[in-house]
Amino acid sequence: MARLVFAAIMALLLAVGLSSLRACQVSADKATARQVGPANLVVLDDKSVLLATDGAITQQLVDWMRTPGADRRRFEIGGRMFAAGSATPLPAASNRVIRLVEMLQAYPDVNTRVIGETQSSGVPARDQRLSEERAKAAVGLLVKFGADRRRLSITGEGASHPRYAPNSPQAAFNDRIVLELAKTR
Where do the domains of the chain lie?
A: 1-34, 71-183
CB 135 within 8 Å of CB 155: yes
Q: Classify domain 71-183 by CATH number.
A: 3.30.1330.60
Q: Distance between CA 63 and CA 22 in Å, rounded?
A: 35
The amino acid at 57:
I
The amino acid at 51:
L
Give tens-digit pLDDT for 123-151: 999 999 999 999 999 999 999 999 999 99
Residues 6+ apart with CB under 8 A from 65: 45, 103, 107, 110, 181, 183
Q: Distance between CA 65 and CA 69 in Å, rounded?
A: 10
pLDDT above 70 covers what percent of the chain?
76
The amino acid at 124:
P
Question: At 156, is the secondary structure helix, strand, or coil?
Answer: strand
Give tens-digit pLDDT for 31-73: 323 444 577 777 777 777 767 766 667 777 778 878 887 788 8
